[in-house]
Structure 1
Amino acid sequence: MKIGVISDTHGLLRPQAVSALEGVDHILHAGDIGNIEIVAELRNLAPVTAIRGNVDTHRDYHQFAATDAVELGGKLFYLIHNVKELDVVPGAAGIAAVIYGHSHKPEIRWEKDVLFFNPGAAGPRRFYLPIAVGIIQITAAGKLKPRIIELSE
């Protein structure tokens, strides 16, 4: 199973991001959507699980929870926009991966057997930070293989 991960679009869904996510089985959006139509566009590629971020304050975004969990390929993925507000103990809750955004900084790190994954920001460039999305492959053996894909402008 191949999972696309995107965050911090801030109203801009770049064609390069769409290309990078083509062929995925599911898309996770970790908030700061910025334009509700982005989720509809992503749904043209694959099913989407999305949460709202701190800029998603308009009433249209109340259809999205502040956090969400979804099981994909037998693994539990927990979405939260700002990882500093993490409200669960991932390992104890059976979570395989914590998906987050907010900082605009791509990050792949492991805490024990839990993947912490920030795909970076796919929307407008912020400072010197890269524009990026992520892919998480779930192997036949059930292992998570994350990677960051930097996008050109």
Structure 2
Amino acid sequence: MKMVVVSDTHLPKRKKGLPERLLDELKDAELIIHAGDWQTLDVYHQLRTYGRVEGVYGNVDDEEIIALLPSKKIVEAGGFRFGITHGHGKGKTTEKRAIEAFKGEKVDCIIFGHSHIPVKRYEGDILIFNPGSPTDKRKQKMFSFGVFTISDRITAEHIFFK
């Protein structure tokens, strides 16, 4: 199973549309996860043309997106449980807030956004993953998003591009 993971698209504020590099990966994705800061519901509808979309709202999303999506959720795919949250809030780091959001819940992976900083590491047995942003790299050298391959395990990679 192929899963594309994205966050912080901030459309149309940062770019006019989703980049071709991301659109190429979406063509054969079975599941698309967005970890918030869509900025517009048009992104949700565009992603849905490629496949099943699961996501959460972020701190810049409007009431229309907030009415459609939760602030955090757990999605089951390929026999694994993925916790999704944007990670915004007060105190602690974005990563620590994301991890804390799923404290006491059984998840195999926590996906978050907000910082625009790509992260892929393990906290015990839990994969901690921030895809970065495909449209607003901020101080990062490259734009990024994630591609997961799910079989008997989760293989996660960042796709970096200019």
**Mapped partners of 1:30, 1:74: distance in 2:** 20
Could you tell me whether the CA contact under 8 Å between 1:121 and 1:132 is conserved in 2?
A: yes
Does the alignment pair 1:145 with 2:155? yes
Match of 2:65 in 1: 61
How far the C-alpha of 1:129 sits from its partner, in A, is: 4.1
Matches within 5 A, 1:89-108: 89=103, 92-108=104-120
How far the C-alpha of 1:24 sits from its partner, in A, is: 1.1
Between the aligned residues of both structures, percent identity stands at 31
Matched residue SS, 2:4: strand
Equivalent AA in structure 1 for residue 58 of structure 2? G
**Greater Cα offset, 111-120 or 127-136:** 127-136
Matches within 5 A, 1:1-153: 1-11=1-11, 12=15, 13-56=18-61, 58-62=62-66, 63-82=68-87, 83-85=95-97, 86-89=100-103, 92-139=104-151, 142-152=152-162
Change (3 A) 1:33 1:3: same
**Mapped partners of 2:140, 2:119: distance in 1:** 15
TM value normalised by structure 2: 0.85
**Mapped partners of 2:86, 2:114: distance in 1:** 6
Structure 1: tracts of 5 or more residues without a match: none
**Mapped partners of 1:101, 1:22: distance in 2:** 23
**Mapped partners of 1:8, 1:19: distance in 2:** 18
**Mapped partners of 1:65, 1:54: distance in 2:** 12
Q: What's the CA shift string for 1:58-85, capped at 9, x where partnerless?
A: 2111211111111001100000111332
How far the C-alpha of 1:22 sits from its partner, in A, is: 2.1
Matched residue SS, 2:39: coil
TM value normalised by structure 1: 0.90
**Mapped partners of 2:39, 2:161: distance in 1:** 19
